[in-house]
Amino acid sequence: MRKVLFSFVALLFLAACGGGPKIEGSWSLEAVSGEELSESEKAMVFTFNEDGSLVMSNGEREEKGSWAWSEDKKDIILKNPNRDGEEKMEGVTIDGDVVKFKSRSDEITLKRKK
């Protein structure tokens, strides 16, 4: 019982301190639903900033937008001021240096840049 109580308290502490994995930082495109990525696609970098801004770059081409977690913290909502509407990264999981999510019908994997 003591072990269960300690685990629960530790989990609450981590949640309160934001001790879980973070999306903030730069990520490169690793895989898209088993497709073979072109060199241009492999060069794509997504930078999620703490202030909610997002930069998507591919060589000299750059697009800026914003990102935010959904209320349930399962999805990330992306907004691009140059496009109507928003896109959703669904079912986001972060495991160390790997992010996985669905976008439309594709399963996408990003890897943290070091």
List pLDDT tens digits, range 27-78: 999 999 979 999 999 999 999 999 999 999 998 899 999 999 999 999 999 9
Q: pLDDT value at position 80?
A: 87
Give the count of domains, the chain.
1
* Structural contact between residues 91 and 85, judged by C-beta atoms closer than 8 angstroms: no
**Across 94-102, average pLDDT:** 95
What CATH number should be reported for the domain holding residue 108? 2.40.128.270
Q: How confident is the model at residue 7 (pLDDT cuts 50, 70, 90)?
A: very low
Look at 17 and 27; give whichever has higher pLDDT: 27
CA distance 105 to 89: 11
The proportion of the chain whose per-residue pLDDT surpasses 70, expressed as a percent, equals 82
Is residue 103 one of the residues assigned to a domain? yes
Residue 17 lies in a domain: no
What percentage of residues in the chain have a pLDDT greater than 90? Answer: 64
43 in a structural domain: yes
Answer yes or no: is pLDDT of 1 > 70.
Answer: no
Instruction: For residues 105 and 92, give the distance between their C-alpha atoms in angstroms, rounded to a whole number.
Output: 14
